Homo-oligomer: A and B are copies of this chain.
Amino acid sequence: MKSTDSATPPQAEPRKKRTRLTPEVRRQQILDAALAEFNALGFTAASISKIASRAGISKANVYVHFASKDDMFETLLDQLMTRSRTNWSQLQDVASVDELVERLIDFAYGGLTDDTIAITRLLITEGHRMPHLLEKWMIGQAKADRQALIEGYVEKGMVKPSPLTEHFSFVMAPVVYATVAQMVLGRDKAAGEVEAIKETHRKLLTLLLTPTER
């Protein structure tokens, strides 16, 4: 609509350069833009148009890198999930219950970043679009790994057996609660509640996991 100056195609427009980037870089630019839009508006309400302009490229170019909106979404979710997969291995070699609890609380609540909130929200709101991703995330190997980890400590006698150690994925429940609070209320309004949850969680874990002195 604007460029009426048809005389000089290659030059004359300082603003919009046709920059050619490697596919990987462009893809990532698009995914970053997509995360922002999807997170703010949800899958349906987010528009390719805004994602493209947020990424600084044309709408059509999006389709050079992704087959469809769905494809883009799936790629994004997969990437996010991989990236934010909690590093349970940190819990592998701890010497005491106190250290275990400390590390657990730290990384669980430290992981409450905007990105994690974003991915959780997307899983909840749009997860039905890609059931296979859901399964990978919620159930699956990770869960079994965690269970094995804690049972190892129980056998070693470092951790007291309890209903909690028997179904250890329960340990993440308060984190999910905090996540939902933050998701619904917003970071600032939820801050107080999240902090209280975290402290309560820490105390209860210590209480429950510490072997009873005899």
Contacts known (A166-B200, A204-B208); A138 close to B177, Cβ less than 8 A = no
Interface size on A, residues (CB 8 A): 51
A51 to chain B, nearest CB (A): 15
> In the complex, how many angstroms separate the beta carbon of A135 from the nearest chain B beta carbon?
8
Q: Mark A166-179, 1 if CB is under 8 A from B, else 0.
A: 11011011101100
Taking a contact as CB atoms under 8 Å apart, the answer to whether B177 and A172 are in contact is yes
Q: Which residues of B contact A200 (CB under 8 A)?
A: 163-164, 166-167, 170
Whether A123 and B184, one on each chain, are in contact in the complex, defined by CB atoms closer than 8 angstroms, is yes
Name 15 A/B residue pairs within 8 A (Cβ), A-sorted.
A1-B23, A42-B42, A138-B181, A138-B184, A163-B200, A163-B204, A166-B200, A167-B196, A167-B199, A169-B193, A172-B177, A173-B177, A176-B180, A204-B208, A207-B208
Which residues of A come within 8 Å of B, CB atoms?
A: 1, 4, 6, 22-24, 40-45, 65, 121, 123-128, 134-135, 138-139, 162-164, 166-167, 169-170, 172-174, 176-177, 180-181, 183-185, 193, 196-197, 199-201, 203-204, 207-208
